[in-house]
Structure 1
C-alpha cells in the first residue's frame, strides 16, 4: 500500500504541472477560439528570460542575493510576457478576427517559431539553470501509518503546491472579478459581449497576458526541475492529452484532466509497464486521449457542439 500511495502522490504532483500548462491552452481558446499551439514556445521563452536575467542581475547590480535576483528576474520576465501578449494581439490576432480555425492555428505555429528564434537570439541556446530554492531531497512521511513510510520528492511537492495555488487564484479571478466575468462572457458569445460594450481586443490582450504569466510559472517550475533548454518547448505536447481529456473550454477540466493523466502515467508505468516491456508512460496519455476522442470528443467537461440545420 505504501508503494501504491507513493506512485499515486507522484502522479498527482506531476498532474498539477500538466494542468498548469494545459490551462494556458484553455484560457486562450475560451476567450478567442484560438488553439494556441505557441503555448510551449511561450513556456520556453519565459523560462529563458527568467534564467538569463537571474544570471545577469547580480552582475549588473552587484547584489549577490539569490532571492533578489530571482524576484527581479521573475518581474522582468513577467513584463516581457505582457509585451509579447500585447504584440501578438496587435500584430496577429486583431487581423484574423472571424477567420477559419486552420488559419488561426497556422498563425500560432508561426508565433511558435518566431518566439523560439527570438529566444535563441536574445538569450542564447545553451542549457541554463533556474534555482528558485526548491529543495531537491526527498522526505519520508506517514512513518507511523506504513512500515518505512512514504517517500515524497520535496521538489515535486513544492512545484505542485505552486501550481495548485496559481490555478486556485485564476479560478477566483474568473469567478469573482468584473474582468473575469467579462472574459467568461466573451467565451460564451463574442457578438453578445460586444453588444453590451465589452471590448474584444482588450479581453484578448488580458487573456494572452494571463496565459503568459501561466507560461512563466510553468517555465520556472519545469526549468528548475529539468534545466532550461529548447526541448522545454515540447512540454506543451504533454499537455495536449490533458486538454483533450478535460475539454478545451473548461478550466476545471484542465485540472481534472491533468490529475487523471499524471496518475494514469505513473500507475500504468509501474503496474502495466513490466508486462509490456516498459516505456508505457511515454504514450499512455495519447492512447487515453485517442479513446476519449472516439467516445466523447468534447472531453469530460467540454461543451457539446450541436449544429442546427
Structure 2
C-alpha cells in the first residue's frame, strides 16, 4: 500500500468515525428511555424531526436564533414530559410489544402534528457552520462534520457523566437495575421517568439541529431512527458506552465497506451494510457487545 493509499484509508476512516458520533447521539436517546423503563421508543426519530422543524420554522419567522433555540428546547421538554405522563405512564407493566406499539403510534402522531403546525415543505437549516474542508497531514476533513461530531461528543460525554456521577443519575441506574428495589428504597419512579423523557427530548433537539443542518429539514429526517437501530443492536440497548462504541463501529465500517466492497457488488452498500453487521451480531451475541445478558429462571 502506497503512502497516498494509506492517507485515503485514514480519510475514509475519519469521515466514518465522525458520522458514527452522530449516530451515537441518536442512539443515546433510545438508551436513556430503554434503560430506565424498558420501552423501545420508536418515536425518537419523530421527536428529532419535530425539534428541527420547530426550530427552523421559528427562525424563518424572524425570531432570533438564541430565542428560537430556547423556545424549541422548552417545546421538546414539554413534549417528552407529556408523552410520559399521558401515554406511557398508564401503560406501566404492560407487555413490551404493547409499549412498542404505543411509541410507534406516537411516531405517526408527532409527524402528523408537525405537518399540521409547520407544513410539509423542505427547509434548509443553516447553523452558521462553515463546511469548507481543511487539510491535516494530507487528510481532508469536513469542518461541519468535525464540529458536529465535537458537539455530539460533548453531549454524549455530558450525559455519561450525568448518568454515572450525579444523584439523579444514580437513581436512573437504580431504576434500570431493579424497579421494585428502587421503589423499596423510596425512589419515585414517575418523577424519574418524566426526567428521562425530558432528557430524551433534549437529545432529540441537539440531534435534530445537527442532522437537519446536514440533510435538510424534511420528513425523511425521522428515518434517522433506522440508522440508530444497528448501533443499538451492536452496542446493546441498555448501554451508553455501547451506543458510543456501536456508533463509531457502524460509522467507520459502512464507509470502509462502501469504498472497498462497494465496487464488487455494484455500489450502494453503505445503505445496508450496517444492518448486515447488526444481523451477524444478533446471531453471535444477541445482547450486543455491552448489553446485559438476560437471565431467566426456569
For the criterion TM > 0.5, the same-fold answer is yes
Q: What is the aligned length?
A: 293
| Runs of at least 5 residues in structure 1 that lack an aligned partner in the other structure | 59-68, 143-148
1:47-102 CA deviation, whole Å, 9 max, x = no partner?
A: 111111112244xxxxxxxxxx2221111111001111111111111100100000
Say if 2:56 is the partner of 1:51. Answer: yes
For 2:81, which of 82, 86, 91 is the aligned residue? 86
Distance 2:62 2:92 in 1: 40
CA deviation after TM superposition for structure 1 residue 262, in Å: 0.2
Q: 1:20 maps to which residue? A: 25
Say if 2:148 is the partner of 1:159. Answer: yes
TM-score, reference length from structure 2: 0.97
Contact conserved, 1:11 with 1:259, CA < 8 A, in 2? yes
Does 162-171 or 81-90 show the bigger shift?
Answer: 81-90
For 2:131, which of 126, 129, 136 is the aligned residue? 136
CA deviation after TM superposition for structure 1 residue 106, in Å: 0.6
Q: 2:286 maps to which residue? A: 297
CA deviation after TM superposition for structure 1 residue 186, in Å: 0.6
Q: 2:106 maps to which residue? A: 111
| Runs of at least 5 residues in structure 2 that lack an aligned partner in the other structure | 1-5
Q: Secondary structure at the match of 2:140?
A: strand
CA RMSD of aligned residues (A): 0.8
Distance 1:257 1:282 in 2: 17
Runs of 4+ with >3 A deviation:
none
For 1:196, which of 185, 192, 196 is the aligned residue? 185
Say if 2:253 is the partner of 1:264. Answer: yes
Say if 2:45 is the partner of 1:40. Answer: yes
CA deviation after TM superposition for structure 1 residue 123, in Å: 1.2
Contact conserved, 1:57 with 1:73, CA < 8 A, in 2? no
Change beyond 3 A, Cα 1:291–1:137: same
TM-score, reference length from structure 1: 0.94
Q: 1:146 maps to which residue? A: none
Distance 1:16 1:276 in 2: 27
Q: 2:3 maps to which residue? A: none
CA deviation after TM superposition for structure 1 residue 275, in Å: 1.3
Q: 1:63 maps to which residue? A: none
Distance 1:175 1:57 in 2: 40
